[in-house]
Amino acid sequence: MSILVGRDTRLLVQGITGREGAFHAQQMQAYGTNIVAGVTPGKGGQTALDGSVPVFDSCWRAIQETQADTSVIYVPAAGAPDAILEAVGAGIRTIFCITEHIPALDMLRVMPVVEAAGARLIGPNCPGATSPGRAKVGIIPGSIHREGNVGLVSRSGTLTYEVVLALTEAGIGQSTCVGIGGDPVIGSTFIDILELFRDDPETEALVLMGEIGGNAEESAARWKAEHLRDTPMVAFIAGRTAPPGRRMGHAGAIISGGSGSAADKIAALEGAGIRVADAPSEIPRLLMEAGVRPA
């Protein structure tokens, strides 16, 4: 099995006629993802991906015509919040928002609507998710994956790529790899994704890629200790040398108010029985020491 995306995913690409949307839609389709529709207001009736995918003016029309059940958003920041709301209003229940630089106040307006609808939002400012050999939604390179039983969840896109490649080169395959995004206001937390992995019978071990700022990693550590006590898990925390008060890359990666430091997060993770790597390259070795075997 897999989580979030798989062979039965019917994907709608919002912003499919834009430069980023068109490029990544081609990559997703080439990987095997079932893209059934695109949406660009004003371009309904056209086609994309060499004529294989119809383009609609609205999500509602796209869903009526194609039964799309998942959306990925490549709409610029000014329009992305409304694109999320449109997808939710049309009935989509799994939404990936790749767009970065969305103001936090805009997301505070969006999130109550998403939650009230019972929808699941991944992102914004996330790389998406890949279930190797099944489907990929977003911008994670498909070639770095290998099918297997290790689930990965990360706040960082580039660290996701680095660790996935290290796992693959070590012969350790992945069930699903999910980037949740590094903004202060995001749709899905570490715990949300860990709950999905807990219920996936093919996921037998976990990797968590965190970073300074906030308390998401500490919360995930407590949840893991209570609900996934016997599942091997390895983590990494980026930003160990960041000085307090300085943002490092992601808008959410800032130490303030005496909390959010790498030391606090590492202590919480280790206290929950999670081994913490000093470098991403150590993760395959730590997994194997925890009992994970290469395929």
d(Cα 192, Cα 202) in Å, to the nearest integer?
18
What is the spatial distance between Cα 291 and Cα 143, in angstroms, rounded to a whole number?
A: 26
Catalytic-residue membership of 101: no
- 149 and 205 Cβ atoms separated by less than 8 Å: yes
Q: How far is CA 265 from CA 125, 218, 219, in A?
A: 22, 6, 9
Name the residue type at position 273. Answer: G
Catalytic residue among 24, 101, 227, 250: 250
DSSP, res 198? H
Q: Are 91 and 64 in contact (CB under 8 A)?
A: no
The residue among 117, 103, 130 whose CA lies nearest residue 33 is 130
Using DSSP, state whether 176 is helix, strand or coil.
strand
Distance, in Å, from the CA atom of 30 to the CA atom of 91, rounded to the nearest integer, reads 27
Radius of gyration of the chain (CA): 19
Alpha-carbon dihedral 128, 110, 11, 165, rounded to 10 degrees: 0
One-character DSSP codes across 4-26: S--TT--EEEETTTSHHHHHHHH
| Residues 72, 60: Cα–Cα separation, whole Å | 15
Q: List, by residue number, the catalytic residues.
A: 250
